[in-house]
Amino acid sequence: MIITLKDGSTRAYESPMSVLEIATDISGGLGRMATAGEVDGKVVDLRTIVDKDCELNILTFDNSDAGKAAYRHTTSHILAQAVKRLYPEAKCAIGPAIEDGFYYDFDMPSLNREDLDKIEKEMKKVIKENHKLEYFELPREEAIKLMQEADEPYKVELIEDLPEDAIISFYKQGDFTDLCAGPHLMSTKAVKAFKLISSSGAYWRGSEKNKMLTRIYGTSYTKKQDLADRLAYLENIKNRDHNKLGREMELFTTVDVIGQGLPLLLPKGAKMVQTMQRWIEDLEDNEWGYVRTKTPLMAKSDLYKISGHWDHYKEGMFVMNDNEEAGKETMALRPMTCPFQYYVYKNSQHSYRDLPIRMGETSTLFRNEDSGEMHGLTRVRQFTISEGHLIVRPDQMVEEFKGCLALAKHCLQTLGVEEDVTYHLSKWDPENTEKYIGTPEEWDEMEGAIRDILTELDIDFTEDVGEAAFYGPKVDINAKNVYGKEDTMITVQWDSLIAKQFDMYYIDQNGDKVRPYIIHRTSMGCYERTLAWLIEKYEGKFPTWLCPEQVRVLPISEKYIDYAETVAKELKKNGVLVTVDNRSEKIGYKIREARKARLPYWVVVGAKEEEEGNVAVSSRFAGNEGVKPVAEFVDQICKEIRTKEIRKVEEQ
RNA sequence: GCUUCGAUAGCUCAGGUGGUAGAGCACUUCACUCGUAAUGAAGGGGUCGAGGGUUCGAGUCCCUUUCGAAGCUCCA
C-alpha cells in the first residue's frame, strides 16, 4: 500500500500496519510524540490498522487540535480511574476533551479543593503505574451487560441511545474500563503535566430536568512549563476581567439593595457610554439614513399579545399588576423595541417609494433573567442598545441586510475589535417548531437568503441550530470574554413574518396593500456589554476618544494651579475631557496616579511652561512627548479624538 | 433556577481549637511648595452583608435570607 504524508511525500508498505507503527517508522521521535492519526481526513486511533492506500497525517499534541484532544481525553480517563479508586460509589457519565482542557462528569457528592488535590495525587499514581490502554469492541448486548455489571447506569443509557449499527468500543487501562470512541494515547504514562482546575455541577445530558452531576475540569500538557504558563494565564486574566477592572476603575458598581443585574454606571462609565451613544446616533442619522424615535419603556400586555412575546417570552418579562387588581391594566416593561417602532411606522400610510424606512432608537430594555445568569455588565436586567428596525420592500431586503452588516463592521472597525468577533447564522430548530412562528418553507427561504449574503460577502460563519429569534433567523456577531465565554455583541435579524401580525403594509405601484419585510438590528449592540468588552480588550487602556478622562494637568506645585486651570480651560473649550490634579502632592506621585488611572495623556506645568505658554506632554503611548505650546497640544489631541484614532504604544 | 464556594473599614486582605477586631492603600487635618512611577506627621472610619438560633460569651458554630464568584441550564 502507498501512504501519502502531509508533506506530499509517499511511503510504501508491504503489509497492513498500525498508525503508530507507521509514525515510528517515519521517525522514532514522531512515534513518541504521536497522539492520534488522520486517515483521509478522518481522525483515527494510533492503534488503527492501515491496510490500503491513503493520505495519512500523524497528529501530535503540538500540531493539531485533534492531537491535543486525544492527549487530554486520555487524561480525563486517568481522572476517572482515580475517582473510581477513591470514590467507588461514583458513577461515570461522560468525560470529553474541550478547548484548553477536559472534564469528566460523575454522579457523586460534590468536591472541594482538598478533594481535588487528593484526586490529583491518585492520578499521579495511575500515570506512574503506566497502564496500557487496550482497545476492544463489543456487540450491543454484551456492551450493555458489561456496563450493567460494572454498575454504570449512565454508560448503559449512552449505549442504549447509540444507533443500531454503531461500533461500541471500550478502552481498558488497568482496573478501569470506559465506554469510549477514542482516540487515546497508548499508555497513561504519556501524560506529563496536568492539573485539576475546578469542580462544579452540571446536568446529565445538559438538561435541567435531569440530575445534577459533579463535573471536574482539568487540563494537561506535554510540558510542565506549558502547564505553568496556562495556570499563570488563568490567574492573570482576572486582572482584565471587566467585572473586576471596571469596578476598580470606577466605571460601574452594583448595590445590594438595588438588585441583581442592575449595575450603576459611575461618572466615568457613564461618560464612555455617552461618547459611544452620541457617536452611534450621529453616525446612523447622518451617514446611514436613519430616523430617530423615542418610544415608551412599557406597554399594556395587549401589545405583547399581538407581538407573540406574551406567549413565547412572558417568563422573561417584568410584568406589573398581572392579576388585574383594582381594575388596573396589566403592564409590562419592554424586553425589546420592535412593536413600538412598528406603531411609529403605522402612524401614517406609506408608499412603496417611502421604503426603506430605517428607524433607530437608543433603547432601554428590561429582561427578567434568572438569578444565576447575571454577570457584571454583560448579562443584566436593564440595558440600553443601539436598536433599530428597517421596514423594507421584499426586493430591497438583501441590499438593506447587507447595509446593516456593513454598518456593524464599520462600528467594529472603529472600536478596533473587528478581529475579535465570530459570525453566526442562527437558525431555528426544526425539531422544536412550537418555539417559532412560520412554516418550514418560510424558514428555509429566510435562512437561505442570509447564507447567500454571508457567502457573497466572503464572511466566515458557523450555522447554529436553535439560536434564531422566534420570528426569524439572524446573523449574530459574537465575541469572547476573558474566560472564553461567548456573548452576542451585534445582531441583524431577518423577519418576513411579523408584519402580518401587526397589519403593516405599504401601497405598491398598482395601489395594492403589500406586507413589508423587517430587519431587526443593532449597529453596535448593547452599550453596557460593549463597555465590558472594551475594558477587557484594552485592559482599561481605551483609545483616547473613548476615555472618560483624556488629559490630566499636573501642576508642579500649588503655585501653578492657576496656569493649570488656564490650560484645562483651553482643552475643555475644544471638547477634550480634562481634569486638574490640584492636590498638594509631589509631581512624581501625581504622575504615578495618572499612570495608574490608565490616562492617555498627562501634562506637567511649572514655572518654565507657564512663562512660555507651554505644556510638558507625556502619554502612555510614547512616554515623554516633549514640551510644546498649548495650542499645538490641543490640535494634536483634538485630531486624535476626532478621527477616533487607536494609537499604539510605541516600542521603547 | 440548579451545584459548589464566598461576604470583616471606601478598596485589597489578616484575624488556629468561640473570649468582645487589625494592616496597607484611600479619606480628613497640619507641615512641606516640590520637575517626571509613592514627602512626613497626626486623625477619623467597622452593630464583621442581614435576620434568627446554640452559648455565660459568636467575626468564628448552626439555620434562614440577600448579594457576589465559577460552572450548568437559559439568553426575544
Confidence of residue A324 (pLDDT cuts 50, 70, 90): low
* Distance in Å, residue A187 CA to nucleotide B26 C1': 56
Distances (CA, A) of A497 to A62, A131, A312, A502, A593: 49, 60, 15, 10, 56
* Distance in Å, residue A588 CA to nucleotide B29 C1': 23
pLDDT at res. A598: 93
Distances (CA, A) of A200 to A194, A216, A374: 18, 7, 18
pLDDT at res. A209: 83
| Nucleotide nearest A201, from its CA to each C1' | B3
Percent of chain A with pLDDT over 70: 99
pLDDT at res. A530: 94
Angle (CA) A565 A570 A572, round 5°: 90
Max mean pLDDT among A30-44, A152-166, A427-441, A459-473 falls in A459-473
* Distance in Å, residue A586 CA to nucleotide B43 C1': 22
Max mean pLDDT among A160-164, A305-309, A432-436, A602-606 falls in A602-606
Asked if residues A484 and A496 have their Cβ atoms less than 8 Å apart, the reply is no
- Please report, to the nearest 10 degrees, the dihedral formed by the alpha carbons of residues A598, A599, A605, A610 taken in order: 170
Three-class SS state of A225: helix
Three-class SS state of A457: coil
Answer yes or no: is pLDDT of A322 > 80.
Answer: no
Least confident among A92-101, A159-168, A443-452, A630-639: A159-168
Answer yes or no: is pLDDT of A461 > 90.
Answer: yes
pLDDT at res. A57: 82
Q: How far apart are CA A104 and CA A96, in angstroms?
A: 7
| Nucleotide nearest A238, from its CA to each C1' | B69
| Nucleotide nearest A336, from its CA to each C1' | B76
Q: How far apart are CA A503 and CA A509, in angstroms?
A: 19
What are the backbone dihedrals phi and psi of residue A556, each rounded to the nearest 5 degrees, phi first? Answer: -60, -40
The predicted-structure confidence for A561-604, as pLDDT tens digits, reads as follows 999 999 999 999 999 999 999 888 999 999 999 999 999 999 99
The predicted-structure confidence for A532-552, as pLDDT tens digits, reads as follows 999 999 999 999 999 999 999
The predicted-structure confidence for A289-321, as pLDDT tens digits, reads as follows 999 999 999 999 899 988 888 887 888 899 887
* Distance in Å, residue A198 CA to nucleotide B42 C1': 48
Residue carrying the nine cell digits 446573523? A475
User: A468 is written with which cell numbers?
Assistant: 434564531
Answer yes or no: is pLDDT of A325 > 70.
Answer: no
Answer yes or no: is pLDDT of A146 > 90.
Answer: no
Three-class SS state of A584: coil
ipTM: 0.91
Q: What is the CA radius of gyration of chain A?
A: 30
pLDDT at res. A62: 86
Q: What is the mean pLDDT of residues A637-648?
A: 96
pLDDT at res. A150: 84
Answer yes or no: is pLDDT of A201 > 90.
Answer: no
* Distance in Å, residue A199 CA to nucleotide B60 C1': 27
Confidence of residue A140 (pLDDT cuts 50, 70, 90): confident
pLDDT at res. A556: 94
* Distance in Å, residue A438 CA to nucleotide B8 C1': 57
pLDDT at res. A542: 95
- Looking at every residue in chain A, the average pLDDT score rounds to 89
Q: For strand B, give the nucleotides within 7 A of a protein CB.
A: 1-5, 11-12, 31-39, 49, 66-76
| Nucleotide nearest A468, from its CA to each C1' | B76
The predicted-structure confidence for A54-88, as pLDDT tens digits, reads as follows 888 888 888 888 888 888 999 999 999 988 888 88
Answer yes or no: is pLDDT of A487 > 70.
Answer: yes
| Nucleotide nearest A113, from its CA to each C1' | B5
Answer yes or no: is pLDDT of A182 > 80.
Answer: no
Question: Reduced to 3 DSSP states, what percent helix, strand and coil does chain A have, rounded to the nearest 5?
Answer: 40, 30, 30
| Nucleotide nearest A260, from its CA to each C1' | B67
Asked if residues A336 and A309 have their Cβ atoms less than 8 Å apart, the reply is yes
Three-class SS state of A36: strand
pLDDT at res. A604: 96
Percent of chain A with pLDDT over 90: 48
Largest interatomic CA distance in chain A: 94
* Distance in Å, residue A483 CA to nucleotide B17 C1': 39
Confidence of residue A522 (pLDDT cuts 50, 70, 90): very high
* Distance in Å, residue A434 CA to nucleotide B53 C1': 50
The predicted-structure confidence for A356-372, as pLDDT tens digits, reads as follows 999 999 999 999 988 88
pLDDT at res. A326: 64
10 Å CB burial of residue A498 (0-12, 13-18, 19+) is buried
The amino acid at A392: V
Half-sphere exposure of A68 (CA within 13 A, CB side): 16
Q: How far apart are CA A71 and CA A56, in angstroms?
A: 19
